[in-house]
Structure 1
Amino acid sequence: MVQSNQKPHLVLLSAPAHLQPVIELGKRLVTCQDVKATIIVASFVQSAPAESRMVQAALATKLFDVIHLPPADISNLVEPGDKGITSLSAAMHVVKPDFQAAILGLETLPTALVVHVFAIECLGIADELKIPKYVFVSTNAWFLATIVYTPVLDKEVEGEYAAKKEPFALPGCSSIRAEDLPDPMLLRTKANYREYLKIGMEIPKADGILVNSWEELQPKTLASLRDGNLLAGVVKAPIFPVGPINSEGSSALKNELFDWLDKQPFDSVLYISFGSMGGLSLEQMLELAWGLELSQQRFIWVVRPPIEKSGSGSGPKFGNIGDDVSSYLPEGFISRTRDRGVIVPQWAPQVEILSHPSCGGFFTHCGWSSAIECITNGLPMIAWPLYAEQRMNATLLTEEMGIAVRSETLPSKGIVGREEIEKMVRKIFVDEGGRQMRARMKELKLSAEKAWSNGGSSYDALAKMVKHSQKKAIAIDV
């Protein structure tokens, strides 16, 4: 029996490789809304060690309980080439019984269940247990509008979306060009598209949808998703914009890299990283290096082994983690740029770098988490989308928000030359256009801070979501 004065208890379920935003949402719930939270972690067998490290860090906060489900072995469920959403859906299918057992093992049933959008396979468990159910979309509102409208497009559009010349209209939102479509929409005959379509049909069945954006960032798109607007026929559940949900770094971090950063002028260093799964060909890496050298700007570049020797498409890695990174760069590049650049092999503490006063821009693959980190630190971007929904994000950041520049050639379609790279770098650090972007970024940074202040739009949206879940729980119980 749910009591109206009972402290809300929300269970949050992560999808494999999507734990961090769920943890950050859990922190907001506990610290801003005084709820009890339990985070349940799903992982692939191969990613379990990384997830375990995040679990330990989450437990160290002592804010919530964490349950790590047995890692999902999907080797017999998907074809070798089926990755992305297909793999995520398969993993959630495998862990579904363990997830339900974990909920039933709690002292009392939770007030509500919140599942990450790529863990939506488990959403129906809430119906079985008679508790309210919510979906957490850790990317932006335009992506949410696209995925929930895809079932409509699936019936209306013949042939491959990618072959269409005209943009696809999303009622009440910005249209989307074929070249900007998320990867799963590029081949309708593939398993990834079928799973993507299924997610688009399942999201509106939730009692509410949380999205990692805020009212002031995407007012038009959020309005279109709500009752009384043009997408209301598709999405009837209330939308709760609770962004920015992002990681907070440690200001106490010190090493040689930060000793170097401390010596650089304010807003002068370009950070370059393409995410944990992003990679470049050797040919593109060489052009990027030459472009950086020609720009004469300061930089920190996280260098990983190239994925192939030439071209722009993905392929098997031919480089090895233990290789000397100088073998992937122009001869003498490191020595010639030593006074203004730092090469970091494999990984760098991104959150801490972006928040450092000397950091002045981000050369990014446009993952939404990275974009959020830029906005919350007031940094303009060079958009370099590679996969997933990153092309959408790049268009949003450049054309709608005006806080990023991008190359004329899509990085996923061809080689971007050194002259164009030099031009983009100099634009955000030297040219008048860069100063305008920087000013716009400062405005968005302030709006992000205001959204999470007491009484701000996201603070209030999360409070409304918690109250909504309590009322829903009582109604179901009755």
Structure 2
Amino acid sequence: MDHKTPRIVIVPSPGISHLIPLVEFAKRFVSLHHEFYVTFIVPTLGPPSNTMKSIFEAVAPTIDSIVLPQVNLEDLPPHIPAAVQIQLTVTHSLSSLRNVLKSLISTSNLVALVADLFASIAHDVANEFYISPFIFFPSSAMGLSFCLYFPKMDETLTCNFGELQEPVKIPGCIPIHGSDLPNPVQDRSSEAYKSFLRLSKRLHLADGIVVNSFMDMEPDVIKALQEEDGGTGNPPIYPVGPIIQNGSSSVVDGSECLKWLDNQPPKSVVYVSFGSGGTLSFDQVNELALGLELSGQRFLWAVRAPDNKSANAGYLSVQNEDPLNFLPLGFVERTKGKGQGLVVPNWAPQVEVLSHNSTGGFLTHCGWNSTLESVMHGVPLIAWPLFAEQKMNAVMLCDGLKVALRPKVNEKGLVEKEEVGKVVKDLLESEEGERIRNRMKDIKDAATNVLSENGSSTNALSELALRWKNMRLA
């Protein structure tokens, strides 16, 4: 590679769920624009995991990675929210990032630094070297619109969002109740709120924002974002999605799931998973288990050990307990014995499960990676949001796109077994479930089209490539 070859630096934030879409974005970008090189510079709280290693082993020769020295957890404040911990990890890595960039500049034509939303503090270092700063927004355009609009909302807000009587109106979005907005903004006095506000303000300082969504999925929001572009200070928006993993990295480990699915009727199984970081309370795990059994429908459940208190994000923690020990007595044996269900601990090869002909629905936490994987494979949803921006995603999926059902929660915050049974059965057997399935098929077709040679997402990537090609270091 000579010094004129354009190179993009990508800085993810800690956590596999944020790394994966950035890697997939890089893979798609260089497959369409061969003249670019990409270097990942990865902040971390620990040594690279086997999952991270396997992810980087499967990339093109024009993509490489540098893992920064790990940040000592003892250097971070105790008992801080996961999102704040992630951002502080990046902040503590800035000195190492600066050294790597200094080295790369001597041998490369660095034209842009693309940071994950939670790694946007890296733009401070990019600016020192006159490298153009971009954001990769890993969630919905609706979430992006909220983030960009949030500083204005903060100026006029006199109470917490959950106390608002009227739904919140975000540009281009369907009205949403304040309690369905992201967890970090629910308490104005919290450090999480202040951190989110700082992040939102940083978005306006980027030279461009790449969002993992597409026009046919969120037309009104994306149009509103692009109309604001330049008018009130929004950076240019590049909707390049849906960008997802093409396959799980360890299908052999999930072969039991796939063999079991091979023996089920078409579109008959509900896949149940709350992602890499989602855990339920002990009581909710029991209600969910009994409800799945009560539904009489087939299910495949990747179950995690419950959290003693509430649903939470487990991105940065390790669970050693066997989750099957927390299920109702005899549940696994009964449901497996009568061929109704298969329960696997912690993990299933999600992409392969969703693409399997026997899968007819997905009970999901509404994380954006899982949402887009469902879209790409045309699988209708049961929306069960837990944390972060997932309630906002659930509102969009249920009320906006109408591709999901959302179970009712009782006054104790639990979805009772009868409600679980009803919503699972409705998705697979009712007329409403059929309408949802057909709607999801339409969106799947649209997703395929936007990724085609002249599709809108492919064109957005070309616009980005042209802009970066024309950039030179000052």
TM-score for the superposition, normalised by structure 2: 0.92
One-letter amino acid of the structure 1 residue matched with residue 40 of structure 2? I
Offset from partner CA, 1:331-388 (integer Å, 9 cap, x none) = 2222221112101012222122111121111111111111111111100111111110
Offset from partner CA, 1:52-71 (integer Å, 9 cap, x none) = 53234313433311111112
- For the residues of structure 2 that align with 1:128 and 1:324, how far apart are their CA atoms? 48
Match of 2:41 in 1: 40
Residue 210 of structure 1 contacts residue 240 of structure 1 at CA under 8 Å; is this kept in 2? yes
Q: Note the 1:164-203 alignment, pairs <5 A.
A: 164-203=164-203
- For the residues of structure 2 that align with 1:341 and 1:365, how far apart are their CA atoms? 20
One-letter amino acid of the structure 1 residue matched with residue 52 of structure 2? M
Q: Taking structure 1 as reference, are residues 62 and 172 closer, same or farther at Cα in structure 2, changes over 3 Å only?
A: closer
| Matched residues, number | 460
SS in 2 for 1:397: helix
- For the residues of structure 1 that align with 2:321 and 2:205, how far apart are their CA atoms? 47
Shift in Å, 1:298: 0.9
Q: 1:85 aligns with which of 83, 86, 97?
A: 83
SS in 2 for 1:429: helix
User: Is 1:244 paired with 2:242?
Assistant: yes
- For the residues of structure 1 that align with 2:232 and 2:313, how far apart are their CA atoms? 41
Q: 2:6 aligns with which of 5, 8, 33?
A: 8
- For the residues of structure 1 that align with 2:20 and 2:345, how far apart are their CA atoms? 23
Shift in Å, 1:232: 4.0
Match of 2:424 in 1: 425
SS in 2 for 1:393: helix
Match of 2:334 in 1: 336
Offset from partner CA, 1:225-279 (integer Å, 9 cap, x none) = 12457x94141x1100011111111599452222111111111111111112211
Q: Note the 1:45-194 alignment, pairs <5 A.
A: 45=46, 48-50=47-49, 53-63=51-61, 64-78=63-77, 80-106=78-104, 107-194=107-194
- For the residues of structure 2 that align with 1:156 and 1:174, how far apart are their CA atoms? 20
One-letter amino acid of the structure 2 residue matched with residue 40 of structure 1? I
Shift in Å, 1:445: 0.8
Shift in Å, 1:173: 2.8
Query: Which range moves more in the overlay, 440-449 or 220-229?
Result: 220-229
Q: Taking structure 1 as reference, are residues 199 and 314 closer, same or farther at Cα in structure 2, changes over 3 Å only?
A: closer
Q: Taking structure 1 as reference, are residues 322 and 158 closer, same or farther at Cα in structure 2, changes over 3 Å only?
A: closer
Residue 148 of structure 1 contacts residue 234 of structure 1 at CA under 8 Å; is this kept in 2? no
One-letter amino acid of the structure 2 residue matched with residue 100 of structure 1? R
* RMSD (Å), alpha carbons: 2.3
One-letter amino acid of the structure 2 residue matched with residue 199 of structure 1? L
Specify every segment of 5 or more residues in structure 1 that has no aligned partner in the other structure, as ranges.
none
- For the residues of structure 2 that align with 1:16 and 1:315, how far apart are their CA atoms? 13
- For the residues of structure 1 that align with 2:319 and 2:134, how far apart are their CA atoms? 42
Offset from partner CA, 1:279-326 (integer Å, 9 cap, x none) = 112221121111111111111111221112xx755599xx9734471x
- For the residues of structure 2 that align with 1:77 and 1:250, how far apart are their CA atoms? 33
Residue 311 of structure 2 contacts residue 387 of structure 2 at CA under 8 Å; is this kept in 1? no
One-letter amino acid of the structure 2 residue matched with residue 469 of structure 1? W
Match of 2:296 in 1: 296
> Where does structure 1 differ by over 6 angstroms across 4 or more consecutive aligned residues?
none
- For the residues of structure 2 that align with 1:287 and 1:250, how far apart are their CA atoms? 29
Match of 2:349 in 1: 349
- For the residues of structure 2 that align with 1:53 and 1:418, how far apart are their CA atoms? 35
One-letter amino acid of the structure 2 residue matched with residue 428 of structure 1? L
Specify every segment of 5 or more residues in structure 2 that has no aligned partner in the other structure, as ranges.
none
Percent identity (aligned): 37
- For the residues of structure 2 that align with 1:440 and 1:451, how far apart are their CA atoms? 17
Residue 355 of structure 1 contacts residue 377 of structure 1 at CA under 8 Å; is this kept in 2? yes
Residue 116 of structure 1 contacts residue 137 of structure 1 at CA under 8 Å; is this kept in 2? yes
- For the residues of structure 2 that align with 1:314 and 1:89, how far apart are their CA atoms? 18
Match of 1:306 in 2: 306
TM-score for the superposition, normalised by structure 1: 0.91
One-letter amino acid of the structure 2 residue matched with residue 180 of structure 1? D
Match of 2:433 in 1: 434
Q: Note the 1:220-259 alignment, pairs <5 A.
A: 220-227=220-227, 232-235=231-234, 237-249=235-247, 253=251, 255-259=255-259
Residue 311 of structure 2 contacts residue 386 of structure 2 at CA under 8 Å; is this kept in 1? no
